[in-house]
């Protein structure tokens, strides 16, 4: 049999494998944190947009929350302003906050919306300030110093934490058959704007929506054990142990903490997936094997994630 003859059969097998997952997740909300290489590679960008459109067409309710750190950094550099980070978070003064809003709420958000709409979706872009979606509060960072007996309080400027999410804004868009695309900017009670970590925002939105899944695109294969092997399915307890042992550390920690918080709050599963793989979102949702790590609230056998 030639390759030409195999291809239609292979496509049919893939669709058959996807059918039970489509049925299971129809009508369910799936929050996707979009970032990393998936946002910078043109092929991956197109693949992501197609994935989101297909999810909506088969009855799922995707909600996209995006980052934009590299784009913010590049814009600041063009304007002659140096980026400064503390504990992995961008120090954000008033001038930088204006640029953050312009890049996230304008350039990045609209590009994602346009791409999804180009492939047949009906995406609506908004920042956390629109409709009071994200109520923020100022984030404080404490840093232990050997020179003093009390922790040092570091002021990051307009860097915020999530105080509250008004899910009615997203519910309205979903009910209108739209795909919400959210920029992670919030506002406090006094009207002050804040730059908020996109992983954190995605996790909190997943919580208030009681989402079926929280999916985080990364530039890694997923969670790795001490031998560098991908952990395909782990429980909350197992992830906690990996953190205590130091196996999970550095830049992965904020993602993992958001993923854990979401599962603790009732989200069925959280996923850390490899955004460098084309159509990673569909592969994770609609196939037995997936392309990353699934975190759940109960113990299953390693690799036995197809039952979740």
Between strands 233-235 and 292-296, the pairing is: parallel
245 vs 2, residue with greater confidence: 245
Q: Is 214 in contact with 206 (CB distance < 8 Å)?
A: yes
Assign 230 to helix, strand or coil.
strand
| DSSP secondary structure letters along 42-110 | HHHHHHHHHHHHHHHHTT-EEEEEE--HHHHHHHHHHTT----EETTEE-B-HHHHHHHHIIIIIIIHH
> 178-221, pLDDT tens digit by residue?
999 999 999 999 999 999 999 999 999 999 999 999 999 988 88
> How many independent structural domains does the chain possess?
1
> 58-69, pLDDT tens digit by residue?
999 999 999 999
Assign 214 to helix, strand or coil.
strand
148 vs 69, residue with greater confidence: 69
State how far the Cα of 91 lies from the Cα of 228, in Å rounded to an integer: 33
The answer to the question of residue 11 being in a domain is no
The answer to the question of residue 13 being in a domain is no
pLDDT of residue 281: 95
Domain CATH for 70: 3.40.1160.10
Q: Is 102 in contact with 70 (CB distance < 8 Å)?
A: no
pLDDT of residue 6: 56
Average pLDDT over residues 30-46: 92
Between strands 292-296 and 269-274, the pairing is: antiparallel
State how far the Cα of 19 lies from the Cα of 297, in Å rounded to an integer: 25
The answer to the question of residue 160 being in a domain is yes
Domain hosting 273: range is 24-307
The answer to the question of residue 16 being in a domain is no
Between strands 134-143 and 152-165, the pairing is: antiparallel
The answer to the question of residue 183 being in a domain is yes
- Binned at pLDDT 50, 70 and 90, residue 305 comes out as very low
Alpha-carbon distances, residue 145 vs 91, 154, 236, 246, 250 (angstroms): 19, 12, 32, 21, 19
* Beta pairing partners, 141: 154
The answer to the question of residue 7 being in a domain is no
- Binned at pLDDT 50, 70 and 90, residue 303 comes out as very low
Mean pLDDT in the chain?
A: 87
State how far the Cα of 236 lies from the Cα of 84, in Å rounded to an integer: 33
Residue that the structure tokens 């899910």 belong to: 167
Structure tokens given for 124: 């609506």
The answer to the question of residue 2 being in a domain is no
Assign 235 to helix, strand or coil.
strand
pLDDT of residue 132: 93
Average pLDDT over residues 25-49: 93
- Binned at pLDDT 50, 70 and 90, residue 27 comes out as very high
Structure tokens given for 273: 């997936």
The answer to the question of residue 139 being in a domain is yes
């Amino acid at each position: 049999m030639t390759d030409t003859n195999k291809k239609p059969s292979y496509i049919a097998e893939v669709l058959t494998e996807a059918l039970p997952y489509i049925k299971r997740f129809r009508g369910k909300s799936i929050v996707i944190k979009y970032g990393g290489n998936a946002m910078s590679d043109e092929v991956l960008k197109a693949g992501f947009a197609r994935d989101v459109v297909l999810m909506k067409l088969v009855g799922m309710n995707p909600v996209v929350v995006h980052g934009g750190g590299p784009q913010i950094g590049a814009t600041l550099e063009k304007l002659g302003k140096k980026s400064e980070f503390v504990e992995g978070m961008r120090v954000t003064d008033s001038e930088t906050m204006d640029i953050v809003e312009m890049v996230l709420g304008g350039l990045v958000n609209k590009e994602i919306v346009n791409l999804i709409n180009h492939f047949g979706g009906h995406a609506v872009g908004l920042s956390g300030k629109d409709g009071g979606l994200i109520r923020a509060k100022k984030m404080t960072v404490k840093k232990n110093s050997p020179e003093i007996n009390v922790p040092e309080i570091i002021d990051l400027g307009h860097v915020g934490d999530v105080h509250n999410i008004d899910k009615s804004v997203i519910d309205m868009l979903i009910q209108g058959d739209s795909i919400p695309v959210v920029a992670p900017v919030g506002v406090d009670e006094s009207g002050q704007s804040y730059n908020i970590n996109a992983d954190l925002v995605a996790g909190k939105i997943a919580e208030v929506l009681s989402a079926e899944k929280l999916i985080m695109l990364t530039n890694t294969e997923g969670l790795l054990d001490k031998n560098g092997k991908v952990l395909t399915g782990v429980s909350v307890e197992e992830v906690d142990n990996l953190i205590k042992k130091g196996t999970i550390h550095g830049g992965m920690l904020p993602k993992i903490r958001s993923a854990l918080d979401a599962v603790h709050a009732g989200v069925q599963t959280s996923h850390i997936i490899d955004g460098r793989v084309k159509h990673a979102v569909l592969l994770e949702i609609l196939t037995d094997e997936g392309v990353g790590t699934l975190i759940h609230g109960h113990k299953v056998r390693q690799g036995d994630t197809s039952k979740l």
